[in-house]
Structure 1
Amino acid sequence: MTGADSRYHHGDLSMTLVESAVRMLATDGDADLSIRAVARAAGVSSAAPYRHFPDRSALLAAVAAAGFGELMTVLRATCPEPSGRTDIGDLAVAYVRFATERPGLFRVMFAEGGQRGSATRREATAVVHEYLDAGVRRWLGIEDPGTVTTGLWALVHGMACLYTYENLEPADAEDMAQRVRDTVDAVLTVDGR
């Protein structure tokens, strides 16, 4: 019995399927995440996933949520409690690195992660936004940092997409990190902080 089979028999098929999909994306960022392909990778019958995911969209939403969980792990490891401009730069670099090192998962998180507006996606992105809000609140001392947080996230996400989809010339890790820091710093300097 494989590891996937033993977890399934212990009632953890949904997690096994999500982990299999994430591994597929790590191997091939353009992997076909059909329910049949993910079931095959998990070592279960093609009908078994339907007990947990009514359709591909629900499976992708769960994969996207797992991706947001991984992103939060990276961000918190980079800076547990961001509170300043340097921390924001560090988080921006970590975010862009995550996107470029995990392009398939990043794509599912933001472009294919189930139905638009799904509760799973909203909950997953809310965790990231709350973490960033807390950092901006500590840094700037403002009560409602939502607009600033959204603007910073949009800026960094845009850079992540530009690098991930190679619209910006691919660079080595050092050059990319410096360009991300310089861009974030330039935008923050306009504000005078």
Structure 2
Amino acid sequence: MQTRLLLASLGLMAATAAPLVSAVEYKQVLTDKSAIAFSYKQMNVPMDGAFKRFTAQLNFDPAQPAKAQAAFDIDVASIDVGSAEGNEEVAGKLWFNTKAQPTARFVSSAVKPLGNNKFEVSGKLTIKGKSLDVSAPVSFKPEGANGVFEGAFAIKRADYAIGEGMWADFGTVANEVQIKFRLLASAGAASPKK
């Protein structure tokens, strides 16, 4: 009888304690351990580049992915295409025009769970003052006390007027640019669920 009473008490304690346990929420992107890169073809030769500076706001609870939110501001002048001369060229008016448009921005509008820690993230990408809808498949995995978000999506540079004038020829620089990202975010206790 006492054993049954003890088990019932433990079961009741466990049931009432469960709502107090907080889920993990990822809010702080560790930008020094994250990367936003891109690849493209120049004269049909694969090329790579990256943006060295960006800020990010994230709110991701794996238990409620549809409520996730993300925003990224990329310092376009931090572009690195592999040479000082190339960096200077793409910062100019015909490419990113970084003096007039120093920031590219992505703001999520929806996160759709696809299963197996994969998601489709949709939102607006703004480059050179032009905002267009984009979607990216994103994978998530816990890594120690952090979470890793990885994904890639393609844009057409002409849609954003990147590479105008003599650079508008897609035979020289291809129109399609692949954007790739790997973001490391720190975890904290989620707000209690209501």
TM-score band w.r.t. shorter chain? under 0.3
Bigger Cα Rg: 2
Structure of higher RCO (CA pairs closer than 8 Å, 6+ residues apart): 2
TM-score by length of 2: 0.23
TM-score by length of 1: 0.23
Q: Which structure features the higher share of helix residues?
A: 1
Q: Which structure features the higher share of strand residues?
A: 2
